[in-house]
Amino acid sequence: MDWQVLTRELSLYLESQVRVGFFGSGVGLSLVLGFGVAYACYYLNSIAKKPQLVASNDRFCRFLEEYCPVVTETYYPTIWCWEGRVQTLLRPFITSRPQVQYRNELIKTADGGQISLDWFDNNDSSYYPDAHTRPTVLLLPGLTGTSKESYILHMIHQSETLGYRCVVFNNRGIAGEELLTPRTYCAANTEDLETVIHHVHSLHPSAPFMAAGVSMGGMLLLNYLGKTGRDTPLMAAAIFSAGWNVFESIESLEKPLNWLLFNYYLTTCLQSSISRHRQILEKLFDMDLVMKLYQ
């Protein structure tokens, strides 16, 4: 994108839309044009950037550049909404929600717990009509997220066009399921994810198996990969918006603006989830003390 062409087109547009008499003798037009040109320059020079690739060796970078060419392209965020926090706040109101028909499966864990999996089998796949070899993508939502989140629905929609099968891992006590044991989940404990990966792989051992995690789901997936290494049946994995440094992320969320915009909402969701399962959790924990942590 040529910024000179963009600014010239912006100027022509404004000249046709803004009356010269605004603020008298074209002063208003000059201000609008000046602001528009300055914003266009700032956007193209400071906002629109190519992704920064960080890898342990050049070989992996070359692999990404060859097979994922999008990582070499300049990313142009929405010109009127490029700041990350604003995008996060507006997303629920302006994004569509693709319709996805799930098949639910409940599986048991070694400690007597229960995990809910939502399957999108994609049986109409023209690329992979054989269900035994149809690629499977395991999706991990963020904190308190479920298979109904709009970003998960869009990921499934994209996978559908590629002919893939998807399965969403809903953490314990999420998506309307009851806790059977006084235990929930966290990004540091990978036992439930290991159970899910083993279960899914055993159902379709001949199918390519991949995973993608968002936010806390990405942190969980990273911990799993770091723990299992090459012993995982996963052929590939993608992590989105993960908190690379948990302590810095917590400190950032505690800042006044971020606390008001995000932390209060996240805390409220966690509090609601804990309250819903209070009866079984209080068998092992002092719930009055736990709830004070959210005040």
Q: Are residues 225 and 270 in the same domain?
A: no
Instruction: Answer yes or no: do 226 and 264 share one domain.
Output: no
Residue 198 lies in a domain: yes
pLDDT (tens digit per residue) in 60-70: 889 989 988 98
C-alpha span between 232 and 194 (Å, rounded): 9
pLDDT at 56: 83
Structure tokens, 251: 């400190």
Non-local (6+) Cβ contacts of 200 within 8 A are 117, 136, 138, 167, 209
On whether both 234 and 251 belong to a single domain, the answer is no
pTM: 0.83
193 in a structural domain: yes
Checking phi first, is residue 209 left (phi over 0); if not, alpha (psi -120 to 50) or beta? beta
Q: Give domain status of residue 57, yes or no.
A: no
Which of 203, 225, 244 finishes a domain? 244
C-alpha–C-alpha distance, residues 35 and 256, integer Å: 30
Let me know whether 195 and 290 are in one domain: no
- Cα(164)–Cα(291) distance, rounded to whole angstroms? 42
| Number of structural domains the chain divides into | 2
Q: Edge to edge, what strands does the sheet with 103-108 contain?
A: 103-108, 114-120, 165-170, 136-140, 209-214, 236-240
Tell me the C-alpha distance between 73 and 116, whole Å. Answer: 38
Q: Are residues 194 and 266 in the same domain?
A: no
Tell whether 68 is covered by a domain. no
Q: Which residues pair with 237 in a beta bridge?
A: 211
Q: Examine the domain organization and report whether 193 and 258 are in the same domain.
A: no
pLDDT in tens, 92-146: 788 788 999 999 999 999 999 999 999 999 999 999 999 999 999 999 999 989 9
Band (24; pLDDT cuts 50, 70, 90): very low
| Secondary structure letter of residue 182 according to DSSP | S
Instruction: Identify the pLDDT of residue 263.
Output: 86
Share of the chain above pLDDT 70, in %: 89
**Are 202 and 250 contained in the same domain?**
no
pLDDT of 208:
98
How far does the chain reach from its first CA to its final CA, in angstroms?
A: 49
25-29, 88-92, 167-171: which has the highest mean pLDDT? Answer: 167-171
Residue range of the domain that includes 136: 103-244
Average pLDDT in the 257-285 region?
87
Verify that 282 and 204 share a domain, yes or no. no
Q: Which of 240, 238, 236, 237 is nearest to 215 (CA)?
A: 240
Picking from 55, 65, 180, the residue whose alpha carbon sits closest to that of residue 116 is 180
> Would residue 52 count as lying in a domain?
no
Give the residue from 68, 74, 35 showing the smallest Cα distance to 51: 74
Q: How many CA atoms lie within 13 A of 102 on its CB side?
A: 20
